[in-house]
Chain A
Amino acid sequence: MLKYKFNPIILLVSRVVSPFIMIFALYVIFHGHYSPGGGFQGGTMFAAALLLIRLAAGFDIAQLQFKKILGTPLGSVGVLIYFGTGFLAMLSGGEFLNYHFLPFAGFKADELRSLGILMVEIGVGLAVLAILVAIYDDLLEGYPHD
């Protein structure tokens, strides 16, 4: 493997572009109900923004942004959010992932379904983001960093 070489042009443009990719990824996640997109696509774009910094700035500096240890726990939390939403509806008397039975007071039926879809998509996006970054980190395992 090649050693990392500092390159100011690539690092500067990556630092400028990466927050915009993150904002667009959040837009894709939160507009998953009305427009093309959703959890998988938004999570992949967020992971692309993180991996851009990892490629441009090197592994050690990118640890300040997203630590390597965080990969598997965050993925588990994402899966837990997904499963928890479905299981909460099941505990309240409906089927698995039947958002109509979610135990939140003060919502109309359509708002309740929209909220349930949003919770599921946040979970999916978090899991995809963490697992993609963890795959990249595991590919680098064993090579000398920097």
Chain B
Amino acid sequence: MITNILAITAVVSGAFFLIVGSIGLIRLPDFYSRNHATGKSDTLGIMLVIFGLILLEGFSLNSAKLFFAFIFVFLTNPTGTHALTNAALNSGLKPWFRKNTGKGDGACTGK
């Protein structure tokens, strides 16, 4: 009972973080901030979902496989984000500032 409540809470909060990451991917203005949104909140969301599934599954072979997926998501997702951002910075992409854009486009400036 208490395990089910904990597992459902973890899965639902993981889905919440995934939705927040997707909204950030659509709404944020440039490459670096979009990468920031998806890199952080997607990692946490997927890890929470897998953690909830491990709690539901109990102590078995399937939960061991889920545990390995947990570890590899934890290792590779931030590294991939770091590699993308590092490559963009090395190739000379400038970050977005508010004063660089004109006053007309409301979607980017938020006004």
Contact pattern, A 64-87, Cβ under 8 Å of B = 1, otherwise 0 = 000000000000000000000000
Whether B72 lies near A9 (C-beta < 8 A) is: no
20 contacts between A and B (CB under 8 A): A2-B87, A2-B90, A2-B91, A5-B90, A7-B83, A7-B86, A9-B79, A9-B82, A10-B79, A10-B82, A10-B83, A10-B86, A13-B75, A13-B76, A13-B79, A16-B75, A17-B72, A17-B75, A17-B76, A20-B72
Contact pattern, A 1-35, Cβ under 8 Å of B = 1, otherwise 0 = 01001010110010011001000000000000000
Nearest-neighbour CB distance to chain A for B43, whole angstroms, equals 13
What residues of chain A lie closer than 8 Å to B76, measured between beta carbons? 13, 17
Interface residues of B in 74-99 (CB under 8 A from A): 75-76, 79, 82-83, 86-87, 90-91
What residues of chain A lie closer than 8 Å to B87, measured between beta carbons? 2
Q: Please provide the 6 A-B residue pairs with the shortest distance between their CB atoms, ordered closest to farther.
A: A13-B79, A10-B83, A13-B75, A9-B82, A17-B76, A10-B79
Question: A10 to B80, alpha carbons, bound, how many Å?
Answer: 8
Contact pattern, B 48-86, Cβ under 8 Å of A = 1, otherwise 0 = 000000000000000000000000100110010011001
Per DSSP, chain A at the interface is: helix
User: Number of contact residues on B: which range applies?
Assistant: 10 to 19
Q: How many contacting A-B pairs (Cβ < 8 A)?
A: 20
Closest to A21 in B: B72
Question: A24 to B76, alpha carbons, bound, how many Å?
Answer: 16
What residues of chain A lie closer than 8 Å to B91, measured between beta carbons? 2
What residues of chain A lie closer than 8 Å to B75, measured between beta carbons? 13, 16-17
Nearest-neighbour CB distance to chain B for A51, whole angstroms, equals 14
Question: A5 to B82, alpha carbons, bound, how many Å?
Answer: 14
What residues of chain B lie closer than 8 Å to A2, measured between beta carbons? 87, 90-91
Q: Which of B75, B76, B79, B90 has the most CB of A within 10 A?
A: B79
Nearest-neighbour CB distance to chain B for A113, whole angstroms, equals 28
